[in-house]
A and B are shown apart, each in its own frame.
Chain A
Amino acid sequence: MKSRSYPFIAYFFLLPILQMIVFNQFGLGSQLVPQVTLLFLIFYPTDSDQTLYLLVAFLYGLYLDILHSTMGLQAAACVTVAFFRPFIITSVFGKNYGYVNIRLQQTSLLALSAYCLNIVLIHHLVYYVFGVSSWTQWLQIIQQFIFGSLYTLLFLIAIMFLLQKNKQ
Chain B
Amino acid sequence: MSVFMDLNLSYTEDKSSLQRLIETAAQLGYSTVAINYTFELTKKKKEVPKPAQIKELFEQLPIVQGRSRPIRVLNRLTVVMSESSHFRSTAPEYRHFDILALQPTSEKLFHAACMTYDVDIICVIVTEKLPFHFKRGSVNGAIDRGVMFEISYAAAIRDSTMRRYTIANAVNLVERSKGKGMIISSAAERALELRGPYDITNLALLFGLTDQTAKEAVSSTCHSVVRHAETRRTGSGIVCTTKVCTETSDQQGAPVDADTCEAPAAKKHKTAASEGVTAEEGGAKATSAL
Q: Do A and B come from one complex?
A: no
Task: List chain B positions with a Cβ less than 8 A from chain A.
Answer: none
Which residues of A come within 8 Å of B, CB atoms? none
